[in-house]
Amino acid sequence: MTIGELRALYDTNHVVNLKDRLGTSRRLQRYVTQFDALPLGELTKMQVVSWHQEIGRTRGGTAANQALQQLHAMYARAQDWEL
């Protein structure tokens, strides 16, 4: 399964139930789509660190931390769903 496929499942089965579903969906679309083609197990810590730092430089620390939190939540949900 790719990160893009997980993102679609996460959006359809989890984000729709959130109070801030629009903001969450937009953050996922804005920041996580660059990883869509990668299989879940191939995203490295260094890729995430570099991605987080780039968002911090271009959008600010709050945006970077929120994006990281969303990526982490997606992976946690994938574990819960046994993907």
Predicted pLDDT at 20: 84
Mean pLDDT across the chain: 93
CB distance 83 to 1 below 8 Å:
yes
**What range does the domain containing 34 cover?**
3-80
pLDDT at residue 62 is higher than 90: yes
Backbone angles phi, psi at 20, to 5 degrees: -100, 50
Backbone angles phi, psi at 39, to 5 degrees: -65, 150
The number of domains in the chain is 1
Percent of the chain with pLDDT over 90: 81
pTM of this prediction? 0.87
At residue 22 the predicted structure's pLDDT band, cuts being 50, 70 and 90, is: confident
